[in-house]
Amino acid sequence: MLFAARYSQQGWVCPVQFHYVAPSFWAWKGGEERLKRLSEFVDHVFCILPFEEEVCKSNGLAATFVGHPILEDLLELNLGKVASTNEWKVQGNCEDFRSIYGVPSGATVVSLLPGSRLQEVTRMIPIFSNTMEMLKGSFSELTTVIHVAPNQHVENYLNGVVHEWPVSVILIPGGSPQLKYNAFSASRVALCTSGTVALELQLARLPCVVAYRAHFLTEWLIRYKAKIPYISLPNIFLESAIIPEALFQACTPPKLASLLMGLIQREELREEQIVAAEKVIGFLRPSERSISNLAKQDLRWRFSEYTPSMIAASTILSYVKL
């Protein structure tokens, strides 16, 4: 929750309450009821998905679509040099990554993103490990890159389990966007636990498979309460299973190995995801109206500076000036 205060001729008045990131009302049955309750104590919602703004407004909540936070990484890594739609991507340095970590030139590299919380990592890593065990016989050299979330418990767990990893493995620490995208650039495909990482892979134009397992009660709740057929945001945006999803009981090593082999071997499947990624990233960009409103306030800013955080900050300042 963010707070600001209006200033008038009578001095400072009651604080204005902002909510950054709208609740995922669109994913759940009865989700819009949460918005009505939110309107009782929130003045303005910053939305990170394009279809949220209008629904918030229709439920009595002032809202602004500011764009998705992953675009901050894009503009930082590209040094603000983004001019057109097809440039909204991050190209890592494949050769640097392979050289630094000693990856053979002929090796097939698979990025693994098992999650950020210890509970989900401990649930997904055995599945990922068995999947790699099933794949290793199909390649002369198979290397996995495990992206480690900046969480000490996760780091300790992964450092312990990789000693029994079935193929060559590289652990890279979280917290460095440049290293992460270099690893993506060096990878053929990725296998990830459902989450924001699916969007990061879209920025990198790296084809992927999305996996998800949870406690059986959580899985039951999702089946009962969810009103959308997909779990990954790219598929939700496109209303199509462009990215293969292996969920719940279907999230098994044989299933994941089959999906990954298909993606590795079939150029048309990888190309389909790469082409779709441009559309997905287009959904995440700040709206032209938000950018236009910001430009009117300060014409010195460049297009590349219209980041989600900058648009949110500008909206807050506009309240303060009222």
Span 175-216, pLDDT tens digits = 889 999 999 999 999 999 999 999 999 999 999 999 999 998
The answer to whether residues 208 and 101 belong to one domain is: yes
The answer to whether residues 176 and 57 belong to one domain is: no
> For the chain, how many residues are written?
322
Q: To the nearest whole number, what is the mean pLDDT of the chain?
A: 87
Going by their DSSP bridges, the two strands 245-247 and 208-212 should be labelled as parallel
The answer to whether residues 193 and 218 belong to one domain is: yes
Encoding tokens for residue 59?
């439920």
The answer to whether residues 203 and 245 belong to one domain is: yes
Q: How many domains is the chain partitioned into structurally?
A: 2
The answer to whether residues 136 and 267 belong to one domain is: yes
The answer to whether residues 291 and 276 belong to one domain is: no
Q: What are 235-291's pLDDT values in tens digits?
A: 999 999 999 999 999 999 999 999 999 999 999 999 999 999 999 998 998 766 666
Contact at 8 Å (CB) between 20 and 2?
A: yes
The closest of 117, 112, 261 to 191, measured between CA atoms, is 112
CA distances from 126 to 81, 131, 162, 189, 320 (A): 41, 8, 11, 19, 51
Q: What are 33-55's pLDDT values in tens digits?
A: 878 788 788 889 999 998 899 99
The answer to whether residues 85 and 16 belong to one domain is: no
Per-residue model confidence (pLDDT) at position 301: 52
| Helix residue spans in the chain (DSSP H) | 32-38, 52-58, 70-77, 94-101, 118-135, 152-161, 177-186, 197-204, 216-225, 233-238, 253-265, 267-284, 288-297, 308-321
Per-residue model confidence (pLDDT) at position 83: 47
The answer to whether residues 104 and 208 belong to one domain is: yes
Per-residue model confidence (pLDDT) at position 110: 98
Contact at 8 Å (CB) between 64 and 153?
A: no
The answer to whether residues 42 and 56 belong to one domain is: yes
Q: Residue 103 and residue 168: Cα distance in Å, rounded?
A: 9
- Burial label, 146 (beta-carbon count in 10 A; 0-12, 13-18, 19+): buried
CATH number where 101 lies: 3.40.50.2000
The answer to whether residues 155 and 238 belong to one domain is: yes
The answer to whether residues 80 and 8 belong to one domain is: no
Going by their DSSP bridges, the two strands 2-8 and 11-20 should be labelled as antiparallel
- Give the residue-averaged pLDDT of 58-84: 78
Residue bearing the bigger pLDDT, 316 or 319: 316
The closest of 262, 280, 116, 83 to 192, measured between CA atoms, is 116
End-to-end CA separation in angstroms for the chain: 20
Domain containing 303 equals: 2-67+286-321
SS3 (DSSP) at 297: helix
Q: Residue 269 and residue 266: Cα distance in Å, rounded?
A: 6
Q: Examine the pLDDT at 117 and tell me if it is beyond 70.
A: yes
The answer to whether residues 11 and 84 belong to one domain is: no
